[in-house]
């Protein structure tokens, strides 16, 4: 024991700074936010010291706010599933590719990440908005004036385009870790391609699917610029609503409560899904 003490001390010293950084930059502000969420809002004095659950109650008892949470959740689930369905074939193809174009392919997937989500949302506005590309084509075909903006479709499309690269890159690295010979073995034992996929590739890729899914789900739940720009005033999601309460209405207590509700929902769903994936994974 006495011999090991210096080692333990070294470890503590090494972990110490990082722990302090996390404590100071994440835990403390969150604790402060939690405290704010219990305060009362007053427009003139801005925040009144209190210890009340009324901000949380206001959210959960009002169908308007729970509706916004539900919309956010639906959009996040739909885009996560679409990311998975569209991303898996691309990731698989990239992972198994022996071609010299492979790195170009990977680069093409990474490239959109260099452009911020705001810029890409503006790009979509040019495509979907009135006077945009879709409108022009529709006009040329004889239609008159169409705008696909300010709809759940536009928001889902925008978020999908932003999150897809994350999904592809995560899946690709996991699929690359699956020994190709396992698939060859399945082939040689007479499994049809769909059977091979369902019984060999998919179960082995499940942890990657879980990680990628969680990653894009969290990103979608917290999306701000995309729903704000493509959804407009008439399409409500959690992050823009939170921002409005905080920065436009200056209602910090309620904004803090919304932040916690969003965070807890995301964390709970994430934990639940990873448990589910783990259980499935163990079963195989």
Partner 1 sequence: MTELFKPSRRSILTLAAGAAATPFAPAILRAQQASGTVVMSTWGGDYAKLLTQNIDNPLLKPKGIEVVQDAGTEPTRVAKAIAQRRLPRGSVDVISVQAPAAFDLEEAGMLEPLDESKVPNLKYVQKTFATPYSIPHIYSPQVIAYSPERVKEPPKSFSDLTSERYVGKVGILDNSYIWVAMAAALKEQGDAGKIAEVKAVMEKLIKSGAKTYTSTEAFAPGIKSGEIDVGLVWFARVLFWSKGGVEMKAAFPAEGCLTYVSSMAVLKNAPNKAAAFAYLNAALEPAAQRGFADSMGYHPTITNAALEGDVAQRLALPEPAPKLIPAPYPQLSAVRDDMNDWWRRLLERR
The pair of structure tokens assigned to 45 is 């004095």
Q: Which 150-179 residues touch partner 1, going by CB under 8 A?
A: none
**Whole-angstrom distance, CA of residue 42 vs CA of residue 181:** 66
- Closer to partner 1 by Cβ: residue 135 or 183: 135
The helix/strand/coil state of 62 is coil
The pair of structure tokens assigned to 271 is 């934990």
**Whole-angstrom distance, CA of residue 56 vs CA of residue 262:** 11
Q: Which 251-270 residues touch partner 1, going by CB under 8 A?
A: 252
Check residue 4 for interaction with partner 1 (CB under 8 A).
no
Q: Report helix angle 152-176 to 202-221, nearest 10.
A: 140
Q: What are phi and psi of 130, to 5 degrees?
A: -60, 130
Smallest separation, CB 247 to partner 1 (Å) = 6
Q: Which 98-137 residues touch partner 1, going by CB under 8 A?
A: 129-131, 135
Smallest separation, CB 165 to partner 1 (Å) = 27
Closest CA to 207 of 162, 180, 170: 170
Check residue 140 for interaction with partner 1 (CB under 8 A).
no
**Distances from the Cα of 71 to the Cα of 123, 148, 189, angstroms:** 24, 18, 46
Q: Which of 13, 18, 189, 248 binds partner 1 (CB under 8 A)?
A: 248
Check residue 282 for interaction with partner 1 (CB under 8 A).
no
Contact 70, 151 (CB under 8 A): no
Check residue 70 for interaction with partner 1 (CB under 8 A).
no
Check residue 43 for interaction with partner 1 (CB under 8 A).
yes
Q: Which 212-231 residues touch partner 1, going by CB under 8 A?
A: 228-229
Check residue 236 for interaction with partner 1 (CB under 8 A).
yes
- Judged by the rule CB under 8 A, the positions of this chain that interact with partner 1 are 43-46, 64, 67-68, 129-131, 135, 145, 147, 228-229, 232-234, 236, 247-250, 252
């Amino acid at each position: 024991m006495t011999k090991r003490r210096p080692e333990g001390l070294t470890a503590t010293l090494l972990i110490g700074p990082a722990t302090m950084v996390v404590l100071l930059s994440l835990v403390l502000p969150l604790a402060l936010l939690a405290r704010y969420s219990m305060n009362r809002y007053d427009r003139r004095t801005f925040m009144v010291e209190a210890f009340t659950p009324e901000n949380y109650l206001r959210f959960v008892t009002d169908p308007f706010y729970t509706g916004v949470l539900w919309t956010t959740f639906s959009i996040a689930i739909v885009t996560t599933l679409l990311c998975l369905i569209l991303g898996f074939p691309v990731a698989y193809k990239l992972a198994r590719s022996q071609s010299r174009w492979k790195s170009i392919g990977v680069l093409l997937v990474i490239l959109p990440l260099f452009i911020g989500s705001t810029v890409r949302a503006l790009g979509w506005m040019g495509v979907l908005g009135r006077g945009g590309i879709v409108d022009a084509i529709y006009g040329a075909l004889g239609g008159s004036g169409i705008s696909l903006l300010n709809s759940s479709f536009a928001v889902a499309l925008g978020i999908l385009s932003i999150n897809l690269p994350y999904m592809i890159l995560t899946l690709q690295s996991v699929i690359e870790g699956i020994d190709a010979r396992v698939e060859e073995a399945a082939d040689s034992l007479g499994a049809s391609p769909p059977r091979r996929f369902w019984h060999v590739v998919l179960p082995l890729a499940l942890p990657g699917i879980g990680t990628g899914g969680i990653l894009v789900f969290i990103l979608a739940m917290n999306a701000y610029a995309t729903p704000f720009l493509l959804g407009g005033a008439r399409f409500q999601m959690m992050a823009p609503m939170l921002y409005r309460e905080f920065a436009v209405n200056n209602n910090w207590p309620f904004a803090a409560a919304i932040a916690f509700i969003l965070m807890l929902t995301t964390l709970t769903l994430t934990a639940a899904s990873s448990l589910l994936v783990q259980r499935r994974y163990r079963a195989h």
